[in-house]
Structure 1
Amino acid sequence: MSIFSDNLRYLRVKHGLTQQKIADILLIPRERYAKYEGMTDPPLDCLQKISRYYHVSIDLLLSFDIRQVPYEDLIKLEDNRILLPMAVDSFGENKIEIIPARAQAGYLSGYSDPEFIEGLQHISLPFLRNGKYRAFPVTGDSMPPHKEGSFIVGQYIERLTDVIDGKTYILITKNDGIAYKRLKKNSASSLTAQSDNTIYEPYEVKASEVLEIWQYACSIATQEFEQDDFGVMSVKDVLQGIRQDFSALRNEFAGRKVQ
């Protein structure tokens, strides 16, 4: 027997299902399914169906005895992002992996690969202890004053429901890759990603496209800030002042009409 076959049998019994019922769900003969609870490995498409049905990641099904963890705890994590490879030092402290710009393209395929993560450079920051952190490069000019070449250090969060409206996050998605944006929850199934540079339009991100979310913890600047870097924020302050002045004038005018 293998860990996978043990997990498969455990999940079926946990749900009170027969082999025939699971076989019907997978659209395969019962005899073939019975072999999966024995010594035969299922093809990839069938393995994906099993993972999605039970809401347990393929990583866990193949390599971890899930009987050791309460099943209810496993299914609380969205999209089954159960196993997050992380590097630790000789004292067991988490290291902060740095994703260099040249590794961005490979991150989508390597973020869950322990060998990929192990090959990254690491740093440690004494004020970031609790949680899992990773540093991502800034690209473009959409989030001033952070310049291209700087790094945003993010703390890993497990659930979309943990996103706080108006805060900034590193967002890893299937289609867009790595993006640093200010987020707002629309519903349980989508987010709005917005740039601080107002020339860029906000856009919607479906929850099903999200692979990882890292909440802003700190930033590492590789270039000195200049006065022009704060131009967007200055415009925002000016507009806010105009709104306040307009509101005050409107209230004053309304007061005169009452008299």
Structure 2
Amino acid sequence: MSFLGSNIKVLRRKSGLTQTQLAEELGVQRTMISAYEDGRSEPRLTTLLTLSKIFDVSMDELTGWDIASKGRQFLQRERLKILTVTLDQDEQERISMVGKKASAGYLNGYADPEYMENLPNFRLPNLDGNKTYRAFEISGDSMLPLMPGTVVVGAYIESPMEIKNGKTYVLVTKNDGIVYKRVFNYIEERGKLFAVSDNQTYKPYDISIQDVMEIWEAKAFISSHFPDPTPSAPVSLEEIGKMILEIKSDIRKISDH
């Protein structure tokens, strides 16, 4: 069981659970979770069985698989169970397009190969070929200057712990549907993500990590609306005064000639 402590810690974080939340799931004190993760104590068999169910892993994987160092292989195995992609005739991944009208159906069909095959799909150049991408049509004006109808292309994020504070993501959620926000990671502290709109008329809000089904990091966008140029800063009275003096000086030079 030499890997058990680190495995519990890795899987807990990947699941977006705090030590307190996991302790509540197991019916133990939070300090016991800390002891498990530090290797100062080992869970009983019944607790191990419960942990394997919570993390959706086998007992062999939980106790004998070095997830901390082989995490990429472990996550790839899990990813294949839940992420459905569309391939072209050369077995290259295509970017499936989730339009505004399809967004409600996507919440139920994102893991259904037949549903995914019926979505429009395309390819884009200059994207990292080692990632899986999906395109989502955004609605509303909460992320101006991106207008409603803009298509955001996102790269699949396997774990919420990969979220980089302040970056924009498409979140597929159980309660709020598909949302595009600037995200801050407070999973360790509160088990939540903090979603912020670029349009300041919309208030930021928390999203429980348990409510999040998929995370896509924004990598590109497609829009028929060209952004307006950034307005220049207002000219101060002092600058106006300098401009008038310069004009008068030029006029004098012209008159002298």
Partner of 1:184: 184
* Deviation digits for residues 97-117 of structure 1 (CA, Å, limit 9, x no counterpart): 001111011010011111111
Moved over 3 A (4+): 49-52, 70-77
Which residues in structure 2 correspond to 1:25-40 (within 5 Å)? none
Partner of 1:207: 209
- For 1:75 and 1:161, locate their aligned partners in 2 and report how far apart those are by CA, in whole Å: 17
Partner of 2:44: none
* Deviation digits for residues 118-137 of structure 1 (CA, Å, limit 9, x no counterpart): 11111101212220000001
Partner of 2:84: 85
Partner of 2:165: 165
Q: Which amino acid aligns with 1:135?
A: A
Unaligned runs of 5+ in 1: 1-48, 61-65, 239-259
**What is the deviation of 1:71?**
9.1
Which residues in structure 2 correspond to 1:239-250 (within 5 Å)? none
Partner of 1:7: none
Residue 121 of structure 2 aligns to a residue in which SS?
strand
Residue 95 of structure 1 aligns to a residue in which SS?
strand
Please report the TM-score for the alignment, with normalisation by the length of structure 1. Answer: 0.59
Residue 156 of structure 2 aligns to a residue in which SS?
strand
Report the structure number with the largest CA radius of gyration: 2
Could you say if the C-alpha distance between residues 50 and 110 of structure 1 is closer, same or farther in structure 2, counting changes exceeding 3 Å?
farther
Say if 2:187 and 2:209, in contact at 8 Å, map to a contact too: no
Q: Which amino acid aligns with 1:139?
A: S
Partner of 1:34: none
**What is the deviation of 1:51?**
11
Partner of 1:20: none
Is 1:132 the counterpart of 2:132? The answer is yes
Partner of 1:106: 105
Say if 1:184 and 1:193, in contact at 8 Å, map to a contact too: yes
* Deviation digits for residues 223-253 of structure 1 (CA, Å, limit 9, x no counterpart): 23335xx67xx8xx99xxxxxxxxxxxxxxx
Identity value in percent: 37
Partner of 1:226: 228
Residue 115 of structure 1 aligns to a residue in which SS?
helix
* Deviation digits for residues 200-245 of structure 1 (CA, Å, limit 9, x no counterpart): 1100011111000000110000223335xx67xx8xx99xxxxxxx
* Deviation digits for residues 73-111 of structure 1 (CA, Å, limit 9, x no counterpart): 59965xx66420001112221100001111011010011
Partner of 1:115: 114
- For 1:75 and 1:51, locate their aligned partners in 2 and report how far apart those are by CA, in whole Å: 20
Say if 2:171 and 2:214, in contact at 8 Å, map to a contact too: yes
Residue 82 of structure 2 aligns to a residue in which SS?
coil
Say if 1:56 and 1:74, in contact at 8 Å, map to a contact too: no
- For 2:227 and 2:120, locate their aligned partners in 1 and report how far apart those are by CA, in whole Å: 25
Please report the TM-score for the alignment, with normalisation by the length of structure 2. Answer: 0.60
Q: Superposition RMSD on alpha carbons, in Å? A: 3.1
- For 1:100 and 1:113, locate their aligned partners in 2 and report how far apart those are by CA, in whole Å: 17
Residue 102 of structure 1 aligns to a residue in which SS?
coil
